[in-house]
Amino acid sequence: MSATWKYQAQRLKQLIDANSVTQAHLYMERLLLFPIDIQDRIIEDISHLPHCNSDAVATILGHYSIQDLK
* pLDDT one-digit tens code per residue, 7-58: 888 888 888 888 888 888 887 777 667 778 888 898 899 889 998 888 888 8
69 confidence band (pLDDT: 50, 70, 90) = very low
pLDDT of 60 reads 87
On whether the CB atoms of residues 8 and 31 are closer than 8 A, the answer is: yes
pLDDT of 70 reads 40
H runs (alpha helix) in 1-70: 3-17, 21-27, 36-47, 54-65
Residue extents of the structural domains in the chain: 3-65
How far CA 31 is from CA of 23, 48, 69, 70, in Å, comes to 12, 23, 23, 26
